Amino acid sequence: MPDTDSAIDAVAGPSPVDRAPVQGESLWQDAWRRLEKNRMAMVGLVVTIVMSLSAVLAEVISPFDPAVQQRWIGALPPWSRTLSLRNEIRVTKGERPLELEVPQACADVLGDGREHELAFEVQEETVSRVRVVAAGAAIEALHLAVPGSIPTRPDEIVVREGEFFRDAATGARFAFTELAKGGSLPAALGVREGRYVVPLERVGRDAGGAYRVGITFAGDGAVARIVRGSGGAPPDSISLMPAEIADVTLDGERLTHLHILGTDQEGRDSLSRLIFGGRISLLVGVTATLVSLVIGVLYGAIAGYVGGRADNVMMRIVDILYGMPYLFVVILMMVAFGRSIWILFIALGALQWLTMARIVRGQVLSLREKEFVDAAITCGTRGAQILTRHLIPNVLGVVVVYMTLTVPAVILQESFLAFLGLTVEWDGRPLESWGALVNYGREALGGGGEFWWLLLWPSIAMSITLFSLNFLGDGLRDAFDPQQRGRM
């Protein structure tokens, strides 16, 4: 048919392949465009992304270690400043002279006439506490205590001969024995805890005007002490206490910490706990959803595609599992196999896949009847490719929507378990999700409601996240909804 060919050429012009193709918009792009227009969904998406990022970067963004208990700053209301000298005090074991300094910066912060508590975090898990009583502009007294570490056998503390104080201003050193001889400091200083008077002339001052005293004890017998000063007067006493401290430096450059959301009764920063709690909640939500995704999509797709009796049996199994009291199952599993986080993932995922399987099966069942599947069979596409090329890509939209809605459902379920006290553990440490924090807050609330923030923050965080995920899920559903799109 030569004339027919030339007719085609006339229509086609010079080779149609060479003309640049117009780029089409896939349904994914189309859905994204719709989603972009949905303000609530976009807010949900942004919040979800922020929450996820904060969960991933918890170590980086959380201002404090959420696990460290510091009872002396316990139950502070939101927007509290604490004077933590953590990072500013360095304590190491050693035999060098102990130097403790009351920094000017410290005096500035503390001199507001109120009683403050200073947190000292000392390495080697020895925690000290400083009580500052500031009556006027200057510090009156610092009590540095080492709670619980006073040795039961005080005579183990031995003061070595020839050890010395150092005058920070002049650099002069005073032998300890010399000091004892010269003043009222007993020679048997190291034997007992107590208050001792340091002769004024033995106390050095540095360039900033801070007072310095240095005492060294032998071995593990260590010291904390009080430097007492009043209205510019030099310290007049030191209190000696044994602890595993050999070297303490206090430079006082960063003294205040802002606990934006307050602290809990153990002195743990609420914001940090919230961030790490979110990590647990989201991790459980996402992981259990992924578990349900893998099982549910495979199971549902096979049931829907194979159909017939196999489908029937498979879906009856799902129905039976659906009828099981899931909470009971999860509790049983956690009792039987321990409170491992894996058990939780599996238990929650194993429950969620049921709905996923039903949804995917329903989709595959209806897609299988679509004419494009018939068309694919007609043009020689084989079974496996029908599944991968035609069915699964068309199910994915619904799967994504359902996944987005499963994550909050799982978070809520896990919270419920945590609320019942079924928290999971990792390395022997409890993993406290938002649900656990809510539970803690509820307990702390007690009758009076004075620690309201402990309940409020995790509740708000959870609500915001659940709302966001649900808005996002709804938005995605609308974006993928063929009805709304009015075509297909």
Residue of 294, 322, 389, 425 that binds other proteins (CB under 8 A): 389
Q: Is 287 helix (H, G, I), strand (E, B) or coil?
A: helix
User: Of the listed pieces 151-159, 286-294, 336-344, 388-396, which binds other proteins according to CB under 8 A?
Assistant: 388-396
Task: Measure the CA–CA gap between 100 and 109, rounded to whole angstroms.
Answer: 18
Task: Work out how close the CB of 324 gets to other proteins at its nearest, in angstroms, rounded to a whole number.
Answer: 19
Residue of 57, 67, 258, 375 that binds other proteins (CB under 8 A): 375
User: 60 or 379, CB closer to other proteins?
Assistant: 379
Neighbours of 170 (CB within 10 A): 10
Task: Work out how close the CB of 69 gets to other proteins at its nearest, in angstroms, rounded to a whole number.
Answer: 54
Task: Measure the CA–CA gap between 402 and 229, rounded to whole angstroms.
Answer: 67
Task: Work out how close the CB of 269 gets to other proteins at its nearest, in angstroms, rounded to a whole number.
Answer: 48
Host H or E run for residue 144: strand 141-145
User: Of the listed pieces 110-118, 239-247, 291-299, 390-398, which binds other proteins according to CB under 8 A?
Assistant: 390-398
Residue 232 and residue 247 in contact, taking contact as beta carbons nearer than 8 Å: no
Task: Work out how close the CB of 58 gets to other proteins at its nearest, in angstroms, rounded to a whole number.
Answer: 37
Task: Measure the CA–CA gap between 143 and 195, rounded to whole angstroms.
Answer: 11
User: 171 or 383, CB closer to other proteins?
Assistant: 383
Task: Work out how close the CB of 371 gets to other proteins at its nearest, in angstroms, rounded to a whole number.
Answer: 4
User: 20 or 207, CB closer to other proteins?
Assistant: 20
User: 4 or 152, CB closer to other proteins?
Assistant: 4
- Could you give the angle at which helices 341-368 and 326-337 cross, rounded to 10 degrees? 140
Task: Work out how close the CB of 29 gets to other proteins at its nearest, in angstroms, rounded to a whole number.
Answer: 9
**Residue span 115-154 as binding mask against other proteins, x where in contact by CB under 8 A, dash where not:** ----------------------------------------
User: 138 or 365, CB closer to other proteins?
Assistant: 365
Matching residue, tokens 């807050």: 441
Helix then strand then coil, in percent of the chain rounded to 5, is: 50, 15, 35
- Dihedral sign for Cα 41, 44, 45, 46, please: positive
Alpha-helical (H) ranges within 38-89 are 39-56, 58-61
Task: Work out how close the CB of 424 gets to other proteins at its nearest, in angstroms, rounded to a whole number.
Answer: 39
Q: Is 432 helix (H, G, I), strand (E, B) or coil?
A: coil
User: Of the listed pieces 1-9, 126-134, 247-255, 291-299, which binds other proteins according to CB under 8 A?
Assistant: 1-9
Task: Work out how close the CB of 20 gets to other proteins at its nearest, in angstroms, rounded to a whole number.
Answer: 7
Residues in region 297-316 near other proteins by CB under 8 A: 309, 312-313, 316
Phi, psi (5° rounding) for residue 84?
-90, 130
User: 173 or 368, CB closer to other proteins?
Assistant: 368
Q: Is 271 helix (H, G, I), strand (E, B) or coil?
A: helix
Matching residue, tokens 């991790």: 283
**Residue span 355-374 as binding mask against other proteins, x where in contact by CB under 8 A, dash where not:** ---------------xxx-x
Residue 169 and residue 205 in contact, taking contact as beta carbons nearer than 8 Å: yes
User: 27 or 343, CB closer to other proteins?
Assistant: 27
Task: Measure the CA–CA gap between 277 and 427, rounded to whole angstroms.
Answer: 16
User: 402 or 434, CB closer to other proteins?
Assistant: 402
User: 31 or 134, CB closer to other proteins?
Assistant: 31
- Dihedral sign for Cα 28, 32, 35, 37, please: negative
User: 227 or 395, CB closer to other proteins?
Assistant: 395
Matching residue, tokens 């009872």: 71
User: Of the listed pieces 4-12, 73-81, 132-140, 210-218, which binds other proteins according to CB under 8 A?
Assistant: 4-12
- Dihedral sign for Cα 23, 27, 29, 34, please: positive
User: 26 or 87, CB closer to other proteins?
Assistant: 26
Host H or E run for residue 80: strand 80-84
CB proximity list for 14: less than 8 A, separation 6 or greater: none
Instruction: With CA atoms as reference, report the closest residue to 448 among 72, 75, 71, 66.
Output: 75
Residue 118 and residue 129 in contact, taking contact as beta carbons nearer than 8 Å: yes
Residue of 390, 410, 466, 470 that binds other proteins (CB under 8 A): 390
**Residue span 8-37 as binding mask against other proteins, x where in contact by CB under 8 A, dash where not:** x--xx--xxx-xxxxxxxxx--x-------
| Number of residues this chain uses to bind other proteins (CB under 8 A) | 41
Residues in region 314-343 near other proteins by CB under 8 A: 316
Q: Which positions lie near other proteins, rule CB under 8 A?
A: 1, 4, 8, 11-12, 15-17, 19-27, 30, 309, 312-313, 316, 370-372, 374-382, 389-390, 393-394, 485, 487-488
